[in-house]
Amino acid sequence: MNTSPNTINVLVTGSGGQLGQCIGKIKNEYPKLTLFFANSTTLDITKKDRVSDFFEDKSFDFVINCAAYTNVEQAEKEPDKAFLVNAEGVKNVAEVCEETNTTLIHISTDYVFDGKKRSPYKEEDFTNPINEYGKSKLAGEKYIQEILDKYFIIRTSWLYSEFGHNFFKTILKKSKTEKELTITTSETGTPTNANDLAKFILDLIEIGSYKYGIFHFSNLGEATWYDFAKEILRVSGKLDTIILKKTDNYPTFAARPKYSVFNKEKCIESFNLDIINWKESLKRIMEN
């Protein structure tokens, strides 16, 4: 374990997911931070004793909890599994953070809202999840607030990157084999580049902020899934070769919020952030 007084030791749980991989990609840009990565195999957060053992003899200053059950459709069929990871697992991490005086940075979701609002959601707005995934994530948030004083809960939305399974990669893949795509217009949110979120989190640690609480982070602007697909195809030069159709009736097993755009003023003002528009961020990821 690096015990240099100038080093900030950071544990990243759920490191096999897309956000964890995005954090890993830029770790060398933060020489003050020593990052330790644990995936679901090396650290099962649903086992309290495993979490405690993992922290033993290690002095983590921060934990970035990226570990989550994220299959929204499957969560309706097996809510116990979603709650085990997203609520009880988070409780375990929070309790060990409290015992070891570690600051927790936890990733949450726009799905804690019901989507009935028609203006961007603020952090203090009423939460009312309409699916099991959202309910499990909100339960995790509540555990953190009950157990810890030193925490950052960062809600994000429509996360995508070059890693893992996400809408961005699915559209690119389908554009190579299919002539026609039908995409829903029934939901409005903000696509968020996980690379931008990763940078925000590591910047947050590096500046040593004590402005704890809940924060909303996504790229700027708003879109439907149709808008997002259209922009992916446009930037990749495939828009003219594929017939893109709209539908306002795309059946899913899980209910989803119709509107989940975030108000990001608190986040921008608290950390002096310069967040870019989702279209610009998409262009950057495609160029890279």
Active-site residue list: 133
14 and 37 Cβ atoms separated by less than 8 Å: no
| Sign (positive or negative) of CA dihedral 214, 64, 273, 158 | negative
Q: How far does Cα 78 stand from its chain's mean position? A: 21
Give CA–CA dist 286/105, Å, rounded. 28
DSSP 262: B
